[in-house]
Amino acid sequence: MSDVIHLLPDHVANQIAAGEVVQRPASVVKELLENSIDAGAQNIQLYIKEAGKILIKVVDDGVGMSITDARLSFERHATSKITSAEDLFRLNTKGFRGEALASIAAIAHVELKTRRETEEVGTCIKIEGSHITSQEPSSTAKGTSISVKNLFYNIPARRNFLKSDTVEMRHIIDEFQRVALAHPKIAFSLIHNASELFQLPGSNYRQRITNILGGKTNEKLVPVNEETEIIKISGFVGKPEFAKRTRGEQFFFVNDRYIKSPYLNHAVTAAFEGLLKDKAYPSYFLYLTVDPGSIDINIHPTKTEIKFDDDHALYAILRSSIKHSLGQFNVAPVLDFERDPNLDTPYDYENRAASNPKVEVDRNFNPFKQESGSRNFSSGFKKESGNWESLYTGLEGGNTETDVDIRQIEFESEEVTGNLFQAGRTEEVQNTTFQLNKRFIISTLKNGMLVIDQHRAHTRILYEELLKSITVSAAVSQQLLFPLILQFSQNEIALLKGIKDSLEQTGFIFSEIKSDSVEITGIPTTISESEVEMLLEQLLADFENEVPENNFSQTDLLAKSLAKSMAVKSGNLLNTTEQQHIVNGLFACKEPTLTPSNKPVFITLPVEELEKKFM
């Protein structure tokens, strides 16, 4: 029997490694941007075509590479970042595994142009699927320019798994923003299909955050600064009143590297305890500087997770520093917030002796003495107690000028017209339902009992109504007396523009959409003005997490998100009319048994099962 184990060819090994390093175009963007930063670049330009499927190009003004280094950079495990295993525990650079360029070159057409400042002529290398097709001198600017074309051209299966351009571009923007936020002193620009999306000059942390998320972000930030022997913390947290319904604006950076840490995120949330509304999440941009030897960043393929040596101490320091900042800037109340400043003792009273208060007493005061010109109520009452009828003199006949017939008096009463379902005045509904625990609607059946989840039922009702409004006929809109102006980030504005037409079919009216805000003059009749911002934030979060591939799925996701946000919540008290409306509306739906997310809406309890409980 012949041997069955053999070494893989280099190009096959590179393609396998690419499956770990390159998951989508955003992975290529991350690796190339980090290489430019490690090269000491001060200006980095990112060019994207067709969401990275056609072209990803990064141009920087870093140190560049020699002819030999340029050729060697595409070999597996070739790196300038480390020389021994011990270097893995004191990393100060981004990439270090030496697989990025080799993996990218295995699944794309790559062209590299580079020149060092001390050299007059640079070099140009072209690679197709790990095979170098040409290497020749080139007249190029100082630094490096690398173009990645036709990603996954030789792996059709991987290319078919890519999402739509909208989805892939959103991932690219996320990676771009993370790198840009971590390095504010470096100038970045992003151009997609010849359209400039970001132009970020070199600045400080606060200006970089404002340039990316919009000018209104500046007033929402509270600075956080703390330095101990273990860790140095700097950055910003958002004020509690600007907390969002999504986790979009939450960034941790450790030694200028973006990370994800649920443990540290819990520390931030704990610092905001008692300051946030229900289901609201704080914004934060926190930069942590620790000893490179106290962390391990090689525990995850994408290097977005870090293992700390003493994470309990970091938790406590982070939580206390944020609480201190919130109190210092009067965002959170201090412990003695009910203290009366008038009771403070001045410092110059420290050595003074206390003086006894002076009490003056009128020794001639007699409460039982009747003064002239005054009337003692008690004595007068006793004196005139026999003539009490005189108090009602003149009331029998009344005054003809001021006499009023009480029967003709009409009392003003405010009729309660607010109704969850806008039912108006209806006939008395037979009381066949009742509410249990402010969550379930109980109704009787011929052979048992029906238990309905009020939130899920109302969600199904609104879902089908919204689908009808978007696809068949536009819903009615209520005009606002004053336009409502809401602030959003550039990403959210771009997403809002994509679903603007569908939102207008549900009753929204957008008078103006700017780069960082929208102006709304009309909203659906089923929601109030105070709910608009929360509803749109939740809608945008749903679209960011689950971006639809076509118009049908976009409409479906829009209807799902709006119905979930607009539906009556568990814990809301409903009157009999509202309960009956939910029951009738539910069983008028095409699919009353399931929610739009395929969860059961109601259950039935037959009489037989109830009888068994008493046996």
The string of DSSP codes covering 520-537 is EEEEETTS-GGGHHHHHH
User: How high is the mean pLDDT of the chain?
Assistant: 81
One domain, residues 232 and 165: no
Average pLDDT over residues 254-283: 87
One domain, residues 152 and 216: no
How far apart CA 593 and CA 570 sit, in angstroms, is 18
How far apart CA 292 and CA 290 sit, in angstroms, is 6
Domain final residue, candidates 200, 221, 252:
200
One domain, residues 37 and 81: yes
Q: Is residue 285 part of a domain?
A: yes
Range of the domain at 288: 208-328
Q: Is residue 119 part of a domain?
A: yes
pLDDT of residue 613: 85
One domain, residues 438 and 536: yes
How far apart CA 472 and CA 295 sit, in angstroms, is 57
Q: Which of 313-322, 356-365, 393-402, 599-608 is least confident?
A: 393-402
Q: What is the DSSP letter of 63?
A: -
pLDDT of residue 234: 94
pLDDT of residue 59: 95
Q: Which residues contact 298 (CB under 8 A, 6 or more apart)?
A: 88, 96
Q: Is residue 374 part of a domain?
A: no
Residue 23, domain CATH = 3.30.565.10
Q: Over 60: is that where the pLDDT of 285 sits? A: yes
pLDDT of residue 25: 92
Q: Is residue 572 part of a domain?
A: yes
Q: Is residue 564 part of a domain?
A: yes
- Bridge partners, 307 (sequence order): 296
Q: Is residue 411 part of a domain?
A: no
Q: Which of 93-102, 117-126, 337-346, 507-516 is least confident?
A: 337-346
pLDDT of residue 92: 61
One domain, residues 53 and 130: yes
The number of folded domains in the chain is: 3
- With 0.85 as the threshold, say if the pTM is over it: no
Percent of the chain with pLDDT strictly greater than 70: 78
One domain, residues 470 and 522: yes
Write out pLDDT tens, residues 489-541: 777 888 888 888 888 888 899 998 887 789 999 998 888 888 888 888 888 88
More confident: 43 or 430: 43
Max mean pLDDT among 108-122, 422-436, 471-485 falls in 108-122
pLDDT of residue 322: 92
**pLDDT interval class at 429 (50, 70, 90):** very low
Q: What is the DSSP letter of 614?
A: T
Domain final residue, candidates 200, 221, 243:
200
**pLDDT interval class at 188 (50, 70, 90):** very high
Q: Which residues contact 187 (CB under 8 A, 6 or more apart)?
A: 42, 43, 44, 200, 201, 202
Tokens coding 403: 């006499």
One domain, residues 164 and 236: no
Handedness of CA 597, 601, 603, 604 (dihedral sign): negative
Average pLDDT over residues 9-23: 67
One domain, residues 128 and 256: no
One domain, residues 534 and 567: yes
How far apart CA 51 and CA 215 sit, in angstroms, is 27
How far apart CA 58 and CA 32 sit, in angstroms, is 7
Q: Is residue 445 part of a domain?
A: yes
pLDDT of residue 370: 67
More confident: 271 or 367: 271
Residue 258, domain CATH = 3.30.230.10
Q: Is residue 395 part of a domain?
A: no
Pairing, β 602-606 against β 448-453? antiparallel
Domain final residue, candidates 279, 313, 328:
328
Tokens coding 435: 């509410």
Q: Over 80: is that where the pLDDT of 458 sits? A: yes
Write out pLDDT tens, residues 216-266: 788 889 999 999 888 999 999 999 888 887 777 899 999 888 988 888 999
